[in-house]
DNA sequence: GGATGTGAACGACTTCACAGCG
DNA sequence: CGCTGTGAAGTCGTTCACATCC
């Protein structure tokens, strides 16, 4: 996953100097690590499932067990949310969910647009889980004039030219880039120019964005390569009798 | 049993006892870090592009610049490949590529199967970049009897029941799970039983695999949530410090 | 000069271990 | 008793700075 070294994430990294100031007065609490944030979404989804299953309180052990994370790690992470846990009992599921949603910034709705109408976009749009988390796709864009004017999953497809207008009208903040690598940078630039605040990039290329625009990159080919590498390691030089669990 | 290192966010996750792993893994001297491996695929793709563009040697600065990584970091990573760099000159592009491919284990062909024929699978199969890296999809599986017997991108769709046979016959080593969350664990178990060595999971759920089977998880919904979180953070103190480029 | 390779400093992340509370 | 919260220790990863070589 591409990582830009330019922009720091405000509120994420903290210097030693903050160390003394343990108790945050409001908003920004102790130190929120990037790694913890990476797990928050996982906690959230699992907790919602626990809730559906009628589990009123969860322990760090249960959560960790379900996600393949140590209990200590879970407690450290959840401590960032304030003192929600009750010794001897655990964490109230619903309260934890609310706190996580607040911390992740998804206790509100987000509107997003998608550029590039292909199979990947269709897969994304068809996954109804987004709506439950407050994400709403409001417009699609494609270069192909044939596609413009049509709909996918009930969402209109527009020409790239109308991007500034549509983004302004819908107030969309997030943009998904699902176009070939060659077109990706231009599309990203257009999204930024149109006022988009964050980009989820599926094109197999590194994007350059101005500071102030957030970026998450998902490179499917890279994932497969890494899997091959892991398998390569697992069966190569290791000739031990691995205790299968 | 208690799980150790769980999946990092867009996870690089290995079901293997980690404690002694670092020693066991390398027949090659320097300690190979997990983080470096995560960047190897990125280096590889960029280098191949440099080669196409006729660049015979690259410096750590060039590579880093192109990928948003510091030059020191690039040198540290590439040092794991041996001493390929020439002071004052840089790294020979072709040699670096070869070394990376060898290290990643993709200087050979990999065969893979995909379970779940939907839009996501189609998107994967359509991306021709895999073949260039030596990945070949040899079979698709789906529960839907309507789909069985048909083809996608020239690849046959089989019933789940024939998985053991097909996997054995094709010698497939990698499996892609692109089914709904509810079915994912069962599918994964079937893949493992059929002899698959590594799984790329797109279902929004955590899979449990026996040691010896590698796992990479890509959760699209989580990615969007994390993007929202980054934007959420950026919202407040917008930093215009770094020069836009 | 220009670039590599690398120990050492630094910082981030995880695990340990245990006090303390319900 | 079970479970949280948290310093402290340990591990991992990145950056710095500079000797070194072409």
For A65-89, write each residue's pLDDT tens digit.
999 999 999 999 999 998 999 999 9
Neighbour count for residue A151 (Cβ, 10 Å) = 10
Question: Is the four-CA dihedral B117, B208, A68, B23 of positive or negative sign?
Answer: negative
Say whether B204 and A45 touch across the interface (CB within 8 A).
Answer: yes
Residue B230: which of A126, A198, A228 has the nearest Cβ? A198
| Distance (Å, whole) CA B137 – CA A119 | 17
Output the pTM of the full model. 0.85
Residue B47: what are its φ and ψ, rounded to 5°? -65, -40
Inform me whether the pLDDT recorded for A154 exceeds 60. yes
Distance A128 CA to D1 C1' (A): 44
Say whether B237 and A10 touch across the interface (CB within 8 A).
Answer: yes
CA B154 to chain centre: 23
Neighbour count for residue B155 (Cβ, 10 Å) = 18
Residues in A 124-153 whose C-beta is less than 7 A from nucleic strand C are none
Inter-residue contact B172 to B191 (CB < 8 Å): no
B192: left (phi over 0), alpha (psi -120 to 50) or beta: alpha
Distance B180 CA to D4 C1' (A): 35
> Measured from the CB, is B86 under 7 Å from any atom of strand C?
yes
Chain D: nucleotides below 7 Å from protein CB are 1-7, 12-17, 20-22
Nearest protein residue, CA measured to C1' of C14: A73
Task: Give B60's contacts in chain A (Cβ within 8 Å).
Answer: none
A235-244: long-range pairs with CB below 8 Å, 24+? A235/B197, A236/B27, A236/B105, A237/B24, A237/B25, A237/B26, A237/B27, A238/B24, A238/B25, A240/B24, A242/B16, A242/B17, A242/B211, A242/B212, A243/B17, A243/B211, A244/B210, A244/B211, A244/B212
The pLDDT of residue B46: 95
Tell which residue, A103, A169, A114, A161, has the closest CA to residue A140.
A114
Report chain B's C-alpha Rg in angstroms: 20
The angle that helices A119-126 and B119-126 make with each other, rounded to 10 degrees, is 160
The pLDDT of residue B14: 35
State the smallest CA–CA distance between residue A228 and chain B in angstroms. Answer: 7
Across the range A132-156, mean pLDDT stands at 96
Q: Look at strands A174-177 and A214-217 and give their pairing.
A: unpaired
B-contacting residues in A 144-203 (Cβ below 8 Å): 173-174, 176, 197-200
Give, for all 245 residues of chain B, the pLDDT tens digit: 333 333 333 333 333 333 333 333 333 445 678 889 889 999 999 999 999 999 999 999 999 999 999 999 999 999 999 999 999 999 999 999 999 999 888 888 999 999 999 999 999 999 888 888 899 999 999 999 999 999 999 999 999 999 999 999 999 999 999 999 999 999 999 999 999 999 999 999 999 999 889 999 999 988 999 999 889 887 753 333 222 22
| Distance (Å, whole) CA B110 – CA B32 | 22
Q: Is B245 on the interface with A (CB under 8 A)?
A: yes
Selected residue of B65, B214, B227, B234 to mutate for chain A interface (largest A Cβ count, 10 A): B227
A-contacting residues in B 104-123 (Cβ below 8 Å): 104-106, 110, 112, 118-120, 122-123
Task: Give A242's contacts in chain B (Cβ within 8 Å).
Answer: 16-17, 211-212
Say whether A200 and B227 touch across the interface (CB within 8 A).
Answer: yes
For A6-30, write each residue's pLDDT tens digit.
333 434 433 333 333 333 333 344 5
């Amino acid at each position: 996953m591409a990582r830009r070294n330019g922009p720091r994430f405000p509120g994420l990294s903290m210097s030693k100097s903050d160390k003394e100031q343990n108790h945050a007065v409001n908003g920004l609490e102790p130190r929120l690590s990037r790694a913890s944030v990476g797990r928050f979404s996982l906690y959230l989804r699992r907790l919602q499932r626990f809730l559906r299953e009628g589990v009123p309180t969860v322990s760090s052990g249960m959560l960790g067990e379900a996600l393949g994370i140590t209990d200590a790690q879970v407690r450290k992470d959840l401590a960032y949310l304030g003192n929600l846990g009750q010794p001897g009992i655990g964490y109230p599921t619903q309260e934890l969910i609310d706190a996580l949603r607040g911390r992740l910034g998804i206790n509100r709705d987000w509107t997003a647009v998608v550029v590039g109408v292909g199979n990947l976009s269709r897969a994304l749009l068809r996954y109804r889980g987004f709506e439950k988390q407050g994400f709403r796709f409001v417009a699609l864009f494609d270069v192909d004039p044939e596609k413009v004017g049509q709909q996918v999953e009930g969402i209109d497809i527009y020409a790239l030219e109308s991007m500034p207008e549509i983004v302004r009208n819908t107030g969309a903040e997030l943009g998904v880039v699902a176009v070939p690598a060659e077109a990706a940078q231009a599309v990203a630039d257009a999204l930024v120019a149109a006022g988009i605040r964050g980009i989820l990039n599926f094109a197999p290329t590194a994007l350059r964005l101005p500071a102030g625009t957030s970026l998450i990159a998902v490179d499917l080919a890279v994932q497969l390569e890494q899997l091959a590498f892991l398998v390569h390691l697992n069966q190569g030089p290791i000739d031990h009798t691995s205790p299968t669990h």
